[in-house]
Amino acid sequence: MAREAPFAKMNGLGNEIIVADMRGRADRVSPAAAIALNADPAMKFDQIMAIHDPRTPGTANYIEIINSDGTMAQACGNGMRCVVQALAAESEQKLFTFETIAGILNAEEHADGMISVDMGVPRFDWQEIPLAEEFGDTSRIELQIGPIDAPVLHSPSVVSMGNPHAIFWVDRDVWDYELDRFGPLLENHPIFPERANISIAQVTAPDALTLRTWERSAGLTRACGSAACAAAVSAARIGRTGRNVTVTVPGGPLAIEWRTDDHVVMTGPAEWEFSGTFDPETGAWTRDRQDVA
């Protein structure tokens, strides 16, 4: 087995993604490799999407999602679009099915290059998010937050899109809030036993939201697809928007549709930056020669 695996450095609306091609090999991207890659300014990323062979032969490719601190995530919407674009470039295939630790996902590349990912169904039950204590209604929960001096950041909507999300609704511009200061505190609030992705959201129209996210295990990112889905369903659930919304994140707009069959479909772009090979054990990497200017 070759030690080096091919990768493509990509982004989904500025969410920095490494798509690692681990097909045809039995090893995995180690947490140490992820940490080493992230420490390199030229490779700094938010998530690695490792494409593996199907876990059961003849079924869908298995995608492992690794945060920049080496921990695993159950979902990554922007990363899935990057995976689709990378695989679509290999063949004429337009429709894809993947397996992740959170289940089966379907995705499609459209003729205009935009990519839709069916992110599955949102889960609102407190045990499934999960929360540390019982809440009958998770559409807004009251949190005790000691050190945070922003009174609006006390009653988020909470939901799982495979991964845990808390959406804090604000009336002012999302850039008015020090998410880099609140994010780490809220991510680690004891109500979230598996921590949570923390977003602040403003409803700007019945079909539009703006959103910034502090990602669990990755920090501030320019886009978080699963958070955009979480915010869209949460806004519809509290009656502030319809079920089709544009969610504008720092990297740009994502179209989110909460279908009547309960599935949440996210549509947006993906962008290739450069390719190379890396060692999945150590993270040592080289850029492909034809990419170097």
Query: Can you say which residues are annotated as belonging to the binding site?
Result: 15, 47, 67, 77-78, 163, 197, 215-216, 225-226
Distance of closest approach, residue 165 Cβ to ligand API, in angstroms:
8
Q: Is 46 an interacting residue with respect to ligand API (CB under 6 A)?
A: yes
Three-class SS state of 208: strand
Residues 124-183 binding ligand API (CB under 6 A) are: 163
Per annotation, catalytic residue among 34, 76, 87, 198: 76
Identify which of residues 35 and 284 has a Cβ nearer to ligand API in the complex: 35
What is the per-residue binding string for ligand API in 1-20, x denoting contact by CB under 6 A? --------------x-----
Please state the φ and ψ torsions of residue 215, each to the nearest 5 degrees. Answer: -85, 140
Q: How far is the CB of 77 from ligand API (least distance, A)?
A: 4
Cβ-based nearer residue to ligand API, 109 or 187? 187
**Residue nearer to ligand API on the CB measure, 71 or 277:** 71
Please confirm, yes or no, whether 229 is among the known catalytic residues.
Answer: no
∠ CA 289-292-293, rounded to 5°:
140
Q: Judge whether 76 counts as a catalytic residue.
A: yes
Minimum separation from the CB atom of position 81 to ligand API (A)? 8
Question: In the structure, how many helices (H) and strands (E) does the chain have?
Answer: 4, 18
- State which residue, 196 or 279, has the beta carbon closest to ligand API: 196
Region 230-269 residues binding ligand API, contact defined as CB under 6 A = none
To ligand API, the closest distance from the beta carbon of 47 in angstroms equals 5
Nearest distance from C-beta of residue 175 to ligand API, angstroms:
19
CA distance linking residue 117 with residue 17, whole number of Å:
16
Residue numbers in the known binding site for substrate are 15, 47, 67, 77-78, 163, 197, 215-216, 225-226
Structure token pair of residue 186: 């809220």
From 10, 153, 224, 231, active-site residue: 224
Asked if residue 288 lies in contact with residue 276, where contact means CB atoms within 8 angstroms, the answer is yes
Decide whether 67 or 202 has the Cβ nearer to ligand API.
67
175: alpha, beta or left? (left if phi > 0; alpha if psi -120 to 50):
alpha
**Among residues 105, 224, 232, 247, the one that binds ligand API under rule CB under 6 A:** 224
Produce one character per residue of 192-221: b if its CB has 16 or more CB atoms within 10 Å, e if not.
beebbbbbbbbbeeeeebbbbbbbbbbbeb
CA nearest to 32, candidates 278, 281, 216, 217: 281
Adjacent-strand bridge partners of 267: 116, 255
Burial 20-54 (b: 16+ CB within 10 A, else e): bbbeeeeeebbeebbebbbeeeebebbbbbbbbee
* Closest C-alpha among 125, 119, 21 to residue 73: 119
Binders of ligand API among residues 59 to 78 (CB under 6 A) are: 67, 73, 75-78
Determine if the peptide bond prior to 57 is cis (ω within 30°). no
Which active-site residues does the annotation give? Answer: 76, 224
Q: Which residue ranges make up the site for ligand API (CB under 6 A)?
A: 15, 46-47, 67, 73, 75-79, 163, 197, 215-218, 221, 224-226
